[in-house]
Amino acid sequence: MWFGWIVASNPLAGWWGKNKRTVYIVAAVIVVLYLFIGNNGGTKTKRVTMPKEYGSAGRELLVHAPGHPKNPIPLVLILHDDNAAAKNLDHDSGAGSVANSEDFAVAYPEAVGGLWRIDGPDSPDAQYIRDVVSFVAGRKSKIDLNQVYIWGVGEGARLAQTTVCGGAKPVFAAVGVVGQFTQEPQSPCPARAPQERVAETKWNKKVSEALWKASEPHRLPTA
């Protein structure tokens, strides 16, 4: 009797009896919000190293790609200018944010010593670019190989134009060129892939959005 009197007189017990359902609902909502906020930024950019089975083994790059998308997604390669860094372009371009919104993957290849070697479509740097596509598609995400795009700024744009001309796979669906040049870069193979041009000195999110809007309609025909 004494114990029963204590419980009955405890205001918290009475409150709990009346409100426990509400508490459970609120707790569930808090958990859902926590999970949503924790993932609200979407996919994050990570630095990775090319594995030993690739010709470009040991070279680094940044990858912004969901690990297990429901369906194959497009891939965009973004090449920085000489004397620059992939991490800076990742930050400034806002391409990762655009990718999260538009559902595509991004890879940022990294030049050795900050300088690209533009020695033709079969040069070591061009092969590295192709290895990046194979690596991301095979190890990092589920990629639609009919929608692989390559964008570049400055010397990165020149390398992008050159790499597209290579005979080996992958075949790029479109090229994006960013920057202002004393001598406008010309593609060695203009018929190989459509080229989108943005004449801006700074690559920001608006530039990435413009390139995506221009590139996305282009896709290779299904074999």
Q: Which of 190, 188, 185 is nearest to 198 (CA)?
A: 185
CB neighbourhood size of 97 (10 A): 15
pLDDT of residue 25: 74
CA 5 to chain centre: 64
- What's the rounded Cα separation, in Å, for the pair 25 and 51? 47
Q: Residue 48's closest CA among 159, 168, 179, 141?
A: 141
pTM above 0.85, yes or no: no
Count of residues in the chain: 223
pLDDT digits (tens, 9 = 90+) for 27-47: 665 654 544 444 445 789 999
| DSSP letter, residue 126 | H
For residue 10, what pLDDT is reported?
A: 57
> Could you tell me where the beta strands, DSSP code E, fall in 65-182?
73-79, 105-109, 143-153, 174-178
Along the chain (223 residues), what's the average pLDDT of each consecutive run of 10 residues?
49 65 66 46 90 96 96 98 97 98 98 95 95 97 98 96 91 95 87 93 96 97 77
Segment 69-110, tens digit of pLDDT: 999 999 999 999 999 999 999 999 999 999 999 999 999 999
Handedness of CA 198, 199, 203, 204 (dihedral sign): negative
Q: pLDDT value at position 167?
A: 82
Look at residue 152 in the predicted model and tell me its pLDDT. 97
